[in-house]
């Protein structure tokens, strides 16, 4: 017998962006934020940059190419927003959110990025230099001065 979908999935309101998102009843930790917001909170852009580095990646060529295209598109949108006079930080946040939605809605990309976030965290834990690198990455994120976002 098939359990009706609404018995295993219910809807929660994201505490960050206030959108509704599905939560599975069997999940051990019930998230309070939607997928894209969780990606943003975990600094997913760092993972994306990491994946785009030739040597560092367990991503396939095709996946890396798909990511690269997304990132280039995001970079172009960011530049355009800045040229249009939008506040750079604001522009960056909207581009970051749009990219998070795109990645979250693609099953393969989502899996890969989540895995990489885990990997980077793991590295950071055991390695002071990695910690420093993570700090630098975070600083760049705050400044919105990423290589690809200008
Ligand atoms: Zn959200």
CA of 44 to the centre of ligand 1 (A): 14
Residues 3-49: tens digit of each pLDDT:
666 678 899 999 999 999 999 988 888 899 999 999 999 999 999 98
- Residue-averaged pLDDT of the chain: 84
Tens digits of per-residue pLDDT, 101-141?
999 999 999 999 999 999 888 776 666 666 666 666 666 65
- Token reading at 89: 């930080």
What local confidence, expressed as pLDDT, does residue 150 receive? 45
CA of 20 to the centre of ligand 1 (A): 8
pTM above 0.85, yes or no: no
User: How is the chain split into domains, by residue range?
Assistant: 37-143
Between the CA of 61 and the centroid of ligand 1 the distance, in Å, is: 30
Residues with CB under 5 A from ligand 1 (ion): 14, 16-17, 34, 37
In degrees and rounded to multiples of 5, residue 20 shows phi and psi of -80, 140
Distance CA 31, CA 39 (A): 12
């Amino acid at each position: 017998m098939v359990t009706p979908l609404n018995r295993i999935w219910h809807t929660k309101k994201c505490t960050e962006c206030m959108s509704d998102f599905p939560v599975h009843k069997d999940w051990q930790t019930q998230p309070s934020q939607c997928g894209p917001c969780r990606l943003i909170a975990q600094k997913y852009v760092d993972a994306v940059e990491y994946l785009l580095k030739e040597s560092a990646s367990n991503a396939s060529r095709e996946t890396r190419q798909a990511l690269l295209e997304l990132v280039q598109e995001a970079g172009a949108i960011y530049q355009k927003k800045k040229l249009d006079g939008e506040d750079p930080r604001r522009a960056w946040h909207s581009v970051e959110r749009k990219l998070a939605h795109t990645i979250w809605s693609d099953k393969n990309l989502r899996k890969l990025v989540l895995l990489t976030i885990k990997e980077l965290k793991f590295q950071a834990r055991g390695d002071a230099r990695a910690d420093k690198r993570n700090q630098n990455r975070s600083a760049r994120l705050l400044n919105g001065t990423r290589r690809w976002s200008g």
